[in-house]
Amino acid sequence: MLLSVIIPCYNCQNTIEKCINSILEQTIIDFEIIAVNDGSKDSTLSVLKNMSEKDKRIVVIDKENSGPSSARNTGLDIAQGEYIGFVDSDDYIDKTMYEKLIDVCKTNDADMAICSYINDYGNGSFKKVKHNLLPKYSTNKEVVEGIIKRLYLGQQECLPSPCNKVYKSSFIHTNRFDESIYRGEDWWFNFYLYERANCIVSIPDCLYYYYQANQNSIMKRMDSNYYDEWKQSRLILNSKMDKFGFEIDKNVYYRMFLYNVHSLILSLIKKNEPVDFILNDDFYKEVVKYDKNTSVIMKICHRLNKMKMIQKLVYKLLVKTIYKN
Q: In whole angstroms, what is the distance from residue 232 CA to residue 136 CA?
A: 32
Specify the pLDDT at position 62: 98
Beta strands 92-93 and 31-38, pairing class: unpaired
Angle among Cα 37, 43, 31 to the nearest 5 degrees reads 45
Around 112, how many Cα atoms within 13 Å sit in the side-chain half-sphere?
A: 29
Buried b (16+ CB within 10 A) or exposed e, 243-275: eeeeebeeeebbbbbbbbbbbbbbbbbeeeeeb
Left, alpha or beta for 122 (phi > 0: left; psi -120 to 50: alpha)? Answer: left
Helices 255-270 & 226-244, crossing angle to 10 degrees?
Answer: 180
Beta strands 112-120 and 200-211, pairing class: parallel
- Cα 140 versus chain centre, distance: 23
Q: In whole angstroms, what is the distance from residue 5 CA to residue 82 CA?
A: 11
Per residue of the chain (325 residues), give pLDDT as tens.
999 999 999 999 999 999 999 999 999 999 999 999 999 999 999 999 999 999 999 999 999 999 999 999 999 999 999 999 999 999 999 999 999 999 999 999 999 999 999 999 998 999 999 988 999 999 999 999 999 988 777 666 666 789 999 999 999 988 999 888 766 788 889 999 999 999 999 999 999 999 987 655 444 567 888 899 889 888 988 888 888 888 888 888 888 788 888 888 877 877 778 888 998 999 999 998 887 666 666 666 666 555 566 665 665 566 555 555 4
Buried b (16+ CB within 10 A) or exposed e, 200-214: bbbbebbbbbbbbeb
Closest CA to 74 of 37, 112, 30: 37
User: What's the Cα-to-Cα distance from 252 to each of 44, 72, 266, 302, rounded to whole Å?
Assistant: 41, 32, 21, 25
Q: In whole angstroms, what is the distance from residue 250 CA to residue 240 CA?
A: 15
Q: What is the dihedral of CA 130, 132, 138, 139, to 10 degrees?
A: -120
Do residues 114 and 131 lie in contact, with contact meaning Cβ atoms separated by under 8 Å? Answer: yes
Q: In whole angstroms, what is the distance from residue 120 CA to residue 211 CA?
A: 5
